[in-house]
Amino acid sequence: MTSRLLVRCLTVSMDGFGAGPDQSLDNPLGVRGPEMMEWLLKTRSFHHMLGKDGGETGIDNEMAEEGFRNVGANIMGRNMFGPIRGPWPDEEWKGWWGEDPPYHTPTYVLTHYVRAPVHMKGGTTFIFATEGIQATLEQAKAAAKGRDVRLGGGVSTVRQYLEARLIDELHLAVRPVLLGKGEKLFDGIDLLALGYEVAKSVQGERAMHVFLRKRPATATK
């Protein structure tokens, strides 16, 4: 079975922003980020990830559960891992998620600066990848052992993989909010020219779930 590179549960505002502005240590999702992510935060799946009871069932919850199914490795950008820029000052920062992050797989963090892997509870190992997006994807697919590789973001990282036509499928949760500013997901990207199409859309309780799929190479000529 061949590993695919999938974007799952990536929230986008109605005006096309994939992240709010002014991300910081105190505001990791950016201004109005929690409002953007409300569809996920309310689900039973998210509560379970935090080790809590409760949460809502329904279509949004089904989409959240599907987002972590059959994942053997993860890739994320450094901005998603944390707010630190430049050379790593020390080994203290280990991500936003505490001692037991929700990934439970080898998780590759794209960076220009070398750092030793960080082993966390629950099976998550953060591996700091310095060889670029293509080499990192090859390493992640080898680690996934036939399961899929989940590309978690942030926006800049998704754009790089998308422009290189390396993403097989994108699941976007489109929230009915306007941000006005932030990081635009598709700005300057011609999805049709890259060979992507809308495979399906499903209306959830708090978001519209849109799936984009890469057509086979022969279909794009």
Q: How far apart are CA 100 and CA 6, in angstroms?
A: 23
CATH number at residue 104: 3.40.430.10
Closest-CA residue to 10 (of 166, 153, 200): 153
With beta carbons less than 8 A apart as the criterion, state whether 185 and 40 touch. no
Residues 6+ apart with CB under 8 A from 191: 212
Instruction: Count how many domains the chain has.
Output: 1
Segment 31-71, tens digit of pLDDT: 887 889 999 999 999 898 877 899 999 999 999 999 999 99
Residues with Cβ within 8 Å of 148's Cβ and at least 6 positions away in sequence, in order, are 3, 4, 5, 6, 70, 71, 72
86 and 167 in contact (C-beta within 8 Å)? no
Q: How far apart are CA 76 and CA 95, in angstroms?
A: 11
Q: What angle do CA 26, 101, 184 make, to 5 degrees?
A: 55
Q: Give a yes or no: residue 60 inside a domain.
A: yes
Cα dihedral 164, 1, 216, 213 sign? negative
Pick from 216, 202, 133: nearest CA to 173: 202
- 99 C-beta neighbours (distance < 10 Å), count: 10
CA angle 95, 101, 106 (to 5 degrees): 90
Instruction: Give the domain range for residue 128.
Output: 5-18+30-87+99-220
Residue 92 lies in a domain: no
CA 218 to chain centre: 28
Q: What value does the mean pLDDT of the chain take?
A: 92
> Is residue 23 a part of any domain in this protein?
no
pLDDT above 90: percentage of residues in the chain? 76
Distances (CA, A) of 99 to 8, 184, 206, 207: 23, 31, 30, 30
pLDDT of residue 153: 84
* Residue in the block written with tokens 């960080």: 118
Tell me whether residue 24 is in a domain. Answer: no
More confident residue, 112 or 52: 112
Nearest Cα residue to 124 out of 109, 100, 104, 145: 104
Max Cα-Cα span within the chain: 50
Q: What would the pLDDT profile of 126-161 be if each residue is shown by its tens digit?
A: 999 999 999 999 999 999 999 999 999 889 999 999
Percent of the chain scored above 70 by pLDDT?
98
Distance CA 169, CA 199 (A): 9
Residue 94 lies in a domain: no
Contact 91, 123 (CB under 8 A): no
